[in-house]
């Protein structure tokens, strides 16, 4: 993703761990990655609220592929 | 003004409850390893914190006064010499950019931000008064450190990790942990909006979460509590066999029942 940053600056980072039983643990969740995870389960209220929060605040701009 | 005073006080550092008294101005380092200069582990907008705080621009300092064996950002976040070297002006600039782009809050965290208090105050002095500032801490700051922050921070997010002296001594070598954190929690509840976090650790529901819940119910009734069950086994846990696994769903349910039993005000 082009964040418009200089190459010397580190990219934003989210760490993700998927467990055998299907649980997903996330650390340092960025708005962009919240939008990705929401696509895995649109019924997940927790992730949905985080993704929506990012979008409604304007931090994460909805792209065409984010829309249903 | 405060930043200058805090920086001068680094000649006898008393910011955290180690009270090591090292002269950071002369290059001495205490248990946290922090010197005069602060470094930053990351700066980015995140949405993984409490819903009422997100999106937050997270300013993450390198270095910590604790060595929790389950820390998932260690060892890098323990080492105060690692990370980006940025001026307070650059950090503040990026924070203001994030606010303009929709971030709701600015969060100082680490590692542990307390050990970088002078830099934090430098950054705060460059931010607009309207910025909502959040202090995410392990709660082991001294009364002096808290006083330096008084009136500047809108919300404190305090990790209350251990519920008894035996576990805190065994896991982080600090039998006085609970007293220190409890003092901070009482102060923060009086001086700001407060969220208490507890990360449920495998095998520590009864010994740690239950007494934490009981204390919160008795001393801070109605305080916002974020009960986290996404324990993520880290790499430094040799010697702590119970921590080398994830929290079982049954343990998470037990933790939730305890919260209900004590009528805690859970938030997510």
Domains of chain B listed by start with CATH number: 1-150 (no CATH), 160-268 (3.20.20.70)
What the block records as the tokens of B27 is 């290059």
Sole residue written with tokens 């203001």: B96
Query: Binning pLDDT at 50, 70 and 90, where does residue A8 land?
Result: low
- Out of A30, A34, A60, the one facing B44 most closely (by C-beta) is A30
Residue A5 has pLDDT above 70, yes or no: no
Which of B118, B139, B107, B108 has its CA nearest to residue B38?
Answer: B118
Sole residue written with tokens 């066999």: B241
Mean predicted confidence (pLDDT) in B82-91: 96
* Residue spans of alpha helices (H) in chain B: 2-9, 88-100, 117-125, 143-149, 165-172, 177-191, 210-219, 249-261
Residues A55/A38, Cβ–Cβ less than 8 Å? no
Which of B43, B130, B30, B40 has its CA nearest to residue B84?
Answer: B40
pLDDT in tens, B144-163: 999 999 999 999 999 999 99
Asked if B37 has any chain A CB less than 8 Å from its own CB, the reply is: no
Residues 6+ apart with CB under 8 A from B62: B38, B39, B40, B41, B76, B77, B79, B80, B81, B82, B83, B110, B111
Minimum Cα–Cα distance from A5: chain B residue: B94
pLDDT in tens, B178-237: 999 999 999 999 999 999 999 999 999 999 999 999 999 999 999 999 999 999 987 777
Give the SS3 label for residue B188: helix
Asked if B247 has any chain A CB less than 8 Å from its own CB, the reply is: no
Query: Binning pLDDT at 50, 70 and 90, where does residue A1 land?
Result: very low
- Out of A19, A30, A49, the one facing B46 most closely (by C-beta) is A30
The confidence score (pLDDT) of residue B75 equals: 78
Residue A2 has pLDDT above 50, yes or no: no
The confidence score (pLDDT) of residue A3 equals: 44
Which of B189, B193, B177 has its CA nearest to residue B216?
Answer: B189
Average pLDDT, chain B: 96
Query: Binning pLDDT at 50, 70 and 90, where does residue B29 land?
Result: very high
Beta-ladder partners of A15: A27
Residues B234/B192, Cβ–Cβ less than 8 Å? no
Q: Would you call A29 and B48 a contact, using CB atoms and an 8 Å cutoff? A: yes
Mean predicted confidence (pLDDT) in B159-174: 97
pLDDT in tens, A18-68: 988 888 899 999 999 999 999 988 888 888 889 988 787 888 776 555 444
Q: Would you call B104 and A57 a contact, using CB atoms and an 8 Å cutoff? A: yes
Torsion of CA B131, B136, B248, A22, to 10 degrees: 40
- Residue B213: how many CB atoms within 10 A of its CB? 25
Torsion of CA B238, B181, B80, B131, to 10 degrees: 130
The confidence score (pLDDT) of residue A62 equals: 61
Query: Binning pLDDT at 50, 70 and 90, where does residue A11 land?
Result: confident
Residue A30 CA to residue A38 CA, distance in Å, equals 12
ipTM, two decimals, is 0.88
Helices (H) and strands (E) in chain B, counts: 8, 8
The confidence score (pLDDT) of residue B236 equals: 73
Minimum Cα–Cα distance from A24: chain B residue: B230
The confidence score (pLDDT) of residue A9 equals: 61
Interface of A with B in 24-63 (CB under 8 A): 25-31, 34, 46, 49-51, 53-54, 57-60
Residues B53/B4, Cβ–Cβ less than 8 Å? no
Residues 6+ apart with CB under 8 A from B260: none
Interface of B with A in 91-120 (CB under 8 A): 98, 101-104
């Amino acid at each position: 993703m082009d964040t418009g940053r200089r190459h010397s600056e580190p990219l934003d980072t989210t760490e993700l761990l998927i467990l055998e039983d299907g649980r997903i643990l996330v650390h340092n969740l960025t708005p962009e990655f919240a939008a990705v995870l929401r696509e895995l389960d649109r019924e997940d209220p927790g992730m949905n609220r985080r993704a929506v929060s990012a979008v409604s605040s304007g931090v994460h701009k909805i792209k065409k592929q984010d829309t249903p | 003004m405060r930043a200058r005073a805090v920086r001068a006080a680094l000649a006898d550092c008393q910011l955290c409850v180690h009270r090591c008294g090292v002269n950071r101005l002369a290059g001495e380092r205490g248990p946290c390893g922090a010197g005069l200069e602060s470094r930053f582990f990351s700066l980015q907008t995140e949405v993984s914190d409490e819903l009422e705080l997100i999106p937050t621009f997270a300013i993450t300092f390198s270095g910590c006064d604790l060595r929790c064996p389950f820390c998932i950002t260690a060892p890098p976040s323990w080492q105060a010499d690692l990370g980006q070297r940025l001026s307070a002006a650059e950090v503040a600039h990026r924070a203001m950019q994030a606010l303009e782009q929709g971030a709701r809050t600015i969060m100082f965290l680490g590692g542990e931000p307390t050990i970088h208090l002078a830099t934090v105050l430098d950054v705060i002095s460059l931010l607009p008064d309207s910025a909502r500032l959040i202090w995410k801490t392990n709660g082991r700051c001294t009364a002096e450190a808290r006083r330096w922050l008084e009136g500047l921070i809108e919300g404190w997010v305090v990790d209350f990790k251990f519920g008894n002296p035996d576990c805190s001594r065994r896991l982080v070598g600090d039998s006085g942990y609970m007293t220190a954190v409890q003092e901070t929690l009482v102060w923060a509840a009086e001086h700001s909006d407060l969220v208490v976090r507890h990360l449920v650790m495998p095998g520590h529901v009864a010994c740690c979460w239950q007494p934490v819940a009981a204390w919160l119910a008795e001393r801070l009734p109605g305080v916002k509590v974020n009960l986290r069950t996404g324990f993520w086994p880290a790499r430094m846990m040799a010697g702590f066999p119970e921590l080398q696994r994830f929290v079982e769903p049954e343990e998470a349910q037990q933790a939730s029942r305890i919260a209900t039993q004590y009528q805690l005000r859970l938030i997510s």
